[in-house]
Structure 1
Amino acid sequence: MGIAAAARRVSVRPYDDAADREAVLSLIAADRLVGQPVGTSGMLTEALAGRSAVDAGWWAELDPPVTDLAQDAAGQVLGVVSYATRASDGAGLILWLHCCEDHGVAQALVAHVLGRLGSRTVFAFEFASALTAGLEGLPVRHRAATQAALEEAGFAGRDLWRYMHRPLPAADLPRAAQVHVRDCEELPGKQVEIREGGEVLAQATIGRPEAGIGVLWWISVTPTARGRGLGMGLLGTSLDLLTGLGADEVILYVDDNAPGDPERDRTAANALYDRAGFREVDRLFSFTRQPCPPVE
């Protein structure tokens, strides 16, 4: 436990749904990013149960999550953490944590989880919970105290994603001359394609808007069709479709290049989003803590 938390006599106890739900929703709201939905009671219910429409397969591999709270001597709720274990590899996972970015409270919650999980590999912020619109990772610029608490506890961070946002409509962007639109099978939304002679030249996946927020999950242009402006036209058309479905803002996630892998070169994608008026809101990190070797 950190000095600040200890001075406030922070203690950790199990979450009580009847007594603590509103306090936890307030903690979640304090960390809300632009482009993310306001956390609802229904979203919290799904997160507590270890379910999420995004990354559902990864959540299904977990044992039932445990959720605990940090409180002060007067019983005021200061933070919340949810964690679980995974039977397939024995790993522990910190699933989500909120503490109004109080460093001492973050330290107390991380130390508590590590004490409960024991000597095993522990991951933190590995995949998206039901509390977000696909936010996979910790937004480190907005959550510096949580990042610091993890790193002080021996976690190593991995910079994985750009989280980007722009308002809609996107009247400033060009449109593709002709697209094919069909329902998306994996996520609720639409698959948008530009075809030529039966061949798919460019493809985008958009998520059905929730609370006015649309998600651009994916956009790509085949290597042989690049340099023709298809990507920008497809992007403009996809954002039009999101507007028509009720979105007044859109978010996206783009990962960085994988060294030595030409299929994971994101240079063109990043340039496309920057030109199209998307603003980088934050960088998303995941974290890993390896077991400490035994002392001889």
Structure 2
Amino acid sequence: MEGVTPGPVGGLRVRGYGARDRDAVLALIGADRITGQPQTTREMLAEALAGRSPVDSGWWAELEVPVTDVVHDDAGTVLGVVSYAVRPSDGTGFILWLHGREVPYIVALLVERVLAVLGVRRRVSAFAFASALSLGLEGLPVGHRPVTRAALEAAGFSADDGWRYLHARLPLAGLPRATRVEVGDSEEPPGRRLAVHGEGEGGGGGEPVAEATVGCPVDGIGVLWWIGVTPAARRRGLGLALLGSSLELLGDLGAREVILFVDDVPADDPERSRSAANRMYDRAGLVEIDRLFSFERHP
């Protein structure tokens, strides 16, 4: 279905994505690329169009096949793209990914398009989970995408500040290494799992007291998905040592950079607080590149 919307430079048309739009859409995605993200490939785009992702795969499996639309001008130049889907179990709509070079009237038109198709009486979430276009960006990097944030909020979406997005170049000097580290494969998220075991009975290896998961590097960029230390083993420097071992493993796998996502749980929740972890990452030399927001619009 194609519609015509007046724009500042003539008529703008919205239609479904076609194979001929691939290179233009890849250029739009690339224009929004931020530090720590590889260039999106044709294969990554194909996965996203089909509704698949190596990260948050369970969420994607609950959706109908996504619909992807593009905005173009009278000359046929593709100016923006948006992909969206519905979750049949509860009828929620999702804006999965959207790119328009941060041009206000293009981005606003893309948001309006989704709401017009899904219906304003439907609950709609935006940037709720990661797509195949990136390395785990579970949210909109609002510092780099202020126009997209403004367009969503102008359309009635409320914002949720959920994640810090951190980055560093490897190697990072001065980090200790953990002992008794066991390395194996991880299926979800895909990559490698590191486990540090405590002392068992008779001095043997006991249950894991600390674990970490890293993603295999893409274009020299590795992801540190998660580090956790059991409450009884905290305050011994084990988290920092496991961070050093994890980054060393990423370097051995070919990573020249590392990225990390930290969900900011309020400090008054002691069981899930990330305050100590954030301090550790900051001291180790990881730098906050942006904050990742999700959005929700209620009927």
Taking structure 1 as the reference length, the TM-score comes to 0.94
Alignment-derived partner of residue 286 in structure 1: 294
More divergent stretch after superposition (134-143 vs 249-258): 249-258
1:162 to partner: Cα distance: 0.4
Amino acid at match of 2:89: S
Instruction: Find the aligned partners of 2:196 and 2:129 in 1 and give their Cα distance.
Output: 31
Identify the match of residue 255 of structure 1 among 258, 263, 266. 263
Instruction: Find the aligned partners of 1:287 and 1:32 in 2 and give their Cα distance.
Output: 20
Q: Any residues of structure 2 matched to 1:117-132 within 5 Å, and which?
A: 117-118=118-119, 119-132=121-134
Instruction: Find the aligned partners of 2:142 and 2:50 in 1 and give their Cα distance.
Output: 26
Give unmatched runs, 5+ long, in structure 2: 200-205
Amino acid at match of 2:143: R
SS at match of 1:187: coil
Instruction: Find the aligned partners of 2:82 and 2:256 in 1 and give their Cα distance.
Output: 32
More divergent stretch after superposition (271-280 vs 170-179): 170-179
Instruction: Find the aligned partners of 2:18 and 2:172 in 1 and give their Cα distance.
Output: 44
1:183 to partner: Cα distance: 1.6
1:11 to partner: Cα distance: 2.2
SS at match of 2:235: coil
SS at match of 1:80: strand
Q: Does 1:78 align with 2:79?
A: yes
Instruction: Find the aligned partners of 2:167 and 2:131 in 1 and give their Cα distance.
Output: 19
CA contact (8 A) 1:5 1:105 kept: no
More divergent stretch after superposition (106-115 vs 175-184): 175-184
CA contact (8 A) 1:61 1:86 kept: yes
1:258 to partner: Cα distance: 4.1
CA contact (8 A) 2:94 2:125 kept: yes
Instruction: Find the aligned partners of 1:180 and 1:284 in 2 and give their Cα distance.
Output: 32
CA contact (8 A) 1:31 1:98 kept: yes
1:263 to partner: Cα distance: 2.0
Write the deviation string for residues 33-65 of structure 1: whole angstroms up to 9, x where unpaired.
111111000000000000001011110111111
Q: Does 1:105 align with 2:124?
A: no
Q: Does 1:206 align with 2:214?
A: yes
Give unmatched runs, 5+ long, in structure 1: 292-296
CA contact (8 A) 1:5 1:108 kept: no
CA contact (8 A) 1:190 1:205 kept: yes
Instruction: Find the aligned partners of 2:208 and 2:179 in 1 and give their Cα distance.
Output: 14
Alignment-derived partner of residue 220 in structure 1: 228
Q: Could you say which structure has the higher strand fraction?
A: 2
Taking structure 2 as the reference length, the TM-score comes to 0.93
Alignment-derived partner of residue 181 in structure 2: 179
More divergent stretch after superposition (250-259 vs 141-150): 250-259
CA contact (8 A) 1:36 1:133 kept: yes
1:259 to partner: Cα distance: 6.5
Write the deviation string for residues 246-275 of structure 1: whole angstroms up to 9, x where unpaired.
111110100011475322100001001101
More divergent stretch after superposition (189-198 vs 228-237): 189-198
Amino acid at match of 2:196: I
CA contact (8 A) 1:5 1:104 kept: no
1:152 to partner: Cα distance: 0.3
Amino acid at match of 1:73: D
Amino acid at match of 2:169: P
CA contact (8 A) 1:29 1:39 kept: yes
Q: Any residues of structure 2 matched to 1:18-33 within 5 Å, and which?
A: 19-33=20-34
SS at match of 1:166: strand
Alignment-derived partner of residue 138 in structure 1: 140
